[in-house]
Structures are given as structure tokens and as C-alpha cells.
Amino acid sequence: MSEYSYMTQEGYNKLKAEIDVLKTEGRSEAAQAIAEAREKGDLSENAEYDAAKDAQGLLEAKINELEKALSNARIISEDELDTSKVTILSNVRLKNLKVNKEITYKLVSAAEANLKEKKISVNSPIGQGLLGKEVGEKAQIETPGGIIEFEILEISI
């Protein structure tokens, strides 16, 4: 049985658009690269042909992976969420107690995670450590860089 992936409507639409681009433009480019390599002669010694076929295989694997994520997606609306504790789609303002610095993260599905936008996956060590916590609670989170202690300052949507 598959595990559900909860995401916003925006994240779902973005994922669907990426799949559509890969299926149309990506497949077209891969087919063109294979055709160009095939024109260069003997396929048994044609490195360009082998590379184009490998690229096509990677493209199909990515499409398959994204389609699987889409099929397991469950869209949730932010207005259905409770802000008394940290859940998926929560904006969490934290204070890193070690360096005394504040940061705000939004907890999202793995498919929507983007550190540049301060969106972290609920499956990440920090995401897992924050889930279910309330304002004022402290969370000790084991990360690859060691244990980090955060204080939850604010939870919003």
C-alpha cells in the first residue's frame, strides 16, 4: 500500500505541469537526440547513441517517479488546518537556541520542498522533529551536523 503525500493545490499543479513538460518537450528532445545519433552510423560503436538512450531512460524514470508522487497526492487546504500545533503546511517561526537566531520554515510535502523558499519537507529531520509541537515547546532535532535545539515561537498558516 502506498503512503499518501499531502500537498497544496499549487504544489499539485506545479508537479502536473512539470510532468506535462517532460512528456512533451522532454520526450521530443530525447527522440531527436537518438535520431541524430543514429544517423552517425554504426550503432554498436556509437557513444552518442548510447548516451542518448541512457538520457531517454533517465527521463522516463523521472516521469514515472513524478507520476507516482502525483497518484499518491492528497490535496489539503490551508483553511482546514489547526494552528495550535505544527502540522503540514504550517509556517513555523523558530529560534535556534545554539546560535540565538530566528528563522521561519513552511512544512510541505517532499515534492514541494525548496530550501531557497524556506519550504522544508515534513519527512526531513527538522520537519519530523517539529511535527506536533506547540508554541513555547523546545525540539531537539538530530541533523547530519549534530543535535540542534529549537524553540517554537509562532505557528501560522
In the block, residue with C-alpha cell 482546514: 80
Which pLDDT does position 22 carry in this prediction?
Answer: 95
Cβ pair 75, 7 in contact under 8 A:
yes
Question: pLDDT 10s digit of each residue in the chain, 157 long?
Answer: 347 777 888 888 988 999 999 999 999 999 999 888 888 777 677 788 888 899 999 999 999 988 988 888 888 877 777 788 998 888 999 999 989 999 999 998 887 888 899 999 988 999 999 999 999 999 999 888 889 899 999 998 8
Query: What phi and psi, each to the nearest 5 degrees, are found at residue 107?
Result: -85, 125
Which pLDDT does position 112 carry in this prediction?
Answer: 83
Structural domains of the chain ordered from first start: 5-75 (1.10.287.180), 78-156 (3.10.50.30)
CA distance linking residue 6 with residue 31, whole number of Å: 34
Task: Choose among 105, 101, 110, 114: nearest CA to 133.
Answer: 105
CA distance linking residue 90 with residue 81, whole number of Å: 8
Which pLDDT does position 62 carry in this prediction?
Answer: 93
| Rounded-to-10 torsion of CA 135, 133, 85, 11 | 120
pTM of the model: 0.67
Which pLDDT does position 72 carry in this prediction?
Answer: 84
CA distance linking residue 148 with residue 97, whole number of Å: 8
